[in-house]
Structure 1
């Protein structure tokens, strides 16, 4: 009898055990350790002496791109390059392996020693002339060149000068738009509210047109003095461009040298001037 009860008990126990839910195996979750945040070292800006010691980048300055008329004076001849000569010059730069650069690249090179493309050159235009857009930018596009267009805002939308739409188009196409004052009065004569009229308001107007910060300024006639530099800084410009005079030893970023491409030069002469004008002499 005991054996019967024992057998029944064991059978019931086994039946209940078989019907019970099997034990769940919980997979082990690996411990994820977040990597420590890597903080990039802060770039150290070069001082003025270091900037002045660096090899200068050739910077070309164009004004008029048009045919000369009978009776045009020597000044007009100097500031005017014919469309055919401009086309030859852009082709010559491309054939010689030059690569156009923009102000942000120049700044990174001078201040942080960031390498530039081989044979760098900057192509700039002053005074807002319409042919700089219709001829200059169109010719540069054939070679993938980008330029810097310095705008005097009083001339916008006037006959013979660029429209707001053309200026915006230049910016949208990858060119840089810089300021060239309101009405081209020389910086060395400014006093009182002139700084606001000639520096602050033109910058704001151009930024409204292109929807981007305007960081570059070109001195009318290339003329500058040390009193102007703090005002240009205060107005929010990062670099300012002169012509071929000596740079300021304290603020070289606000006296970046350029050369005017003369209409009296041959293409060969222009190419030679790029090398001779930017060989260190300071």
Structure 2
């Protein structure tokens, strides 16, 4: 009797153990499923949060002339000769001459004041597409290809991590005399170091006096020559003497230029990209004078 009861008890215990094992197994399976489901949901949520939308294919509509004119102007400085003035220099030439010491003082002031140099491509994207620029942007440009722009200008800019724009007059490349000019190797080095090489005609002919033939000799041929030297596109232009002719501005776009630079005269309302203002930094200015001039000249438009 005891044996039968004992056997029945053992049988019940086995059945209960099997049921418990089955329940535990089901529980673990459900827990695993819930865990996997939670992990998938979490992964999906994280992906939704961290995924960066692909905007590279999005088309941004270029700004019209009115919008470009309304954007806050970026200060653009213009330099010609960086040397000590001579007694034989005319009074007019004095505006285009700045001593090496003063140039270095002025660039140091810009760096100490928190300015960051930008290049024409950055300025173009800002004006046309509203692309953000660094804080306190400024552009430093050099006209006419003088050697001192390479030896003094470029070396000084590099000291502060600045980049410049060099508007090259191709007739002068490699010439030596009272004034020495940059060589092809100098120009190539400037481009390789991240500076912008741009056009300033063949021999500084006044843009307002262009004939039909000049579009080849003063524009197309210099562009081709510069592109052969630097191995990059040349897409920006500066007018000799800062003088432009409104009726011919559309032709610059037809000849491959994205923007062009004048001096301190008013911009053209129909072609603001081809009349971007610059100011000359005269050798008679102190660093304080330059700072004042920048803020006075380029704080007239909206942000």
TM over 0.5: yes
1:123-173 deviations in Å (ceiling 9; x for gaps): 000000000001000001000000000000000010100000000000000
2:74 is the counterpart of 1:51: no
For residues 38 and 219 of structure 1, the distance between their equivalents in structure 2, rounded to whole angstroms, comes to: 40
Q: What's the secondary structure of 2:150's corresponding residue?
A: helix
Q: How does 1:54-93 map to 2 (within 5 A)?
A: 54-93=71-110
The structure whose residues are more often helix, as a share, is: 2
For residues 212 and 127 of structure 2, the distance between their equivalents in structure 1, rounded to whole angstroms, comes to: 33
RMSD: 1.4
Cα shift at 1:229: 1.1
Q: What's the secondary structure of 2:155's corresponding residue?
A: helix
Query: Out of 83, 103, 118, which is 2:120 matched to?
Result: 103
Q: Stretches of 4+ moved more than 6 A in 1?
A: none
For residues 140 and 38 of structure 1, the distance between their equivalents in structure 2, rounded to whole angstroms, comes to: 36
**Aligned position for 2:241:** 221
1:16-48 deviations in Å (ceiling 9; x for gaps): xxxxxxxxxxxxxxxxxxxxx967320111110
Cα shift at 1:95: 0.2
Cα shift at 1:228: 2.1
Cα shift at 1:74: 1.0
Cα shift at 1:235: 1.1
For residues 128 and 92 of structure 2, the distance between their equivalents in structure 1, rounded to whole angstroms, comes to: 36
Cα shift at 1:202: 0.5
**Aligned position for 1:174:** 194
Cα shift at 1:232: 1.1
Q: What's the secondary structure of 2:165's corresponding residue?
A: strand
What TM-score do you get using the length of structure 1 for normalisation? 0.85
1:199-242 deviations in Å (ceiling 9; x for gaps): 11100000000000001000000000112212211110100000
2:272 is the counterpart of 1:272: no
**Aligned position for 2:208:** 188
Cα shift at 1:265: 1.1
For residues 188 and 135 of structure 2, the distance between their equivalents in structure 1, rounded to whole angstroms, comes to: 29
Query: Out of 231, 236, 259, which is 1:211 matched to?
Result: 231
Q: Could you list the runs of 5+ residues in structure 2 that have no partner in the other structure?
A: 1-52
**Aligned position for 1:263:** 283
Q: What's the secondary structure of 2:225's corresponding residue?
A: helix
Cα shift at 1:279: 2.0
2:138 is the counterpart of 1:146: no
For residues 197 and 53 of structure 1, the distance between their equivalents in structure 2, rounded to whole angstroms, comes to: 35
For residues 144 and 166 of structure 2, the distance between their equivalents in structure 1, rounded to whole angstroms, comes to: 8
For residues 58 and 115 of structure 2, the distance between their equivalents in structure 1, rounded to whole angstroms, comes to: 33
2:138 is the counterpart of 1:118: no
Aligned length: 246
For residues 71 and 186 of structure 1, the distance between their equivalents in structure 2, rounded to whole angstroms, comes to: 25
CA contact (8 A) 2:235 2:256 kept: yes
Query: Out of 151, 157, 172, which is 1:134 matched to?
Result: 151
CA contact (8 A) 2:163 2:195 kept: yes
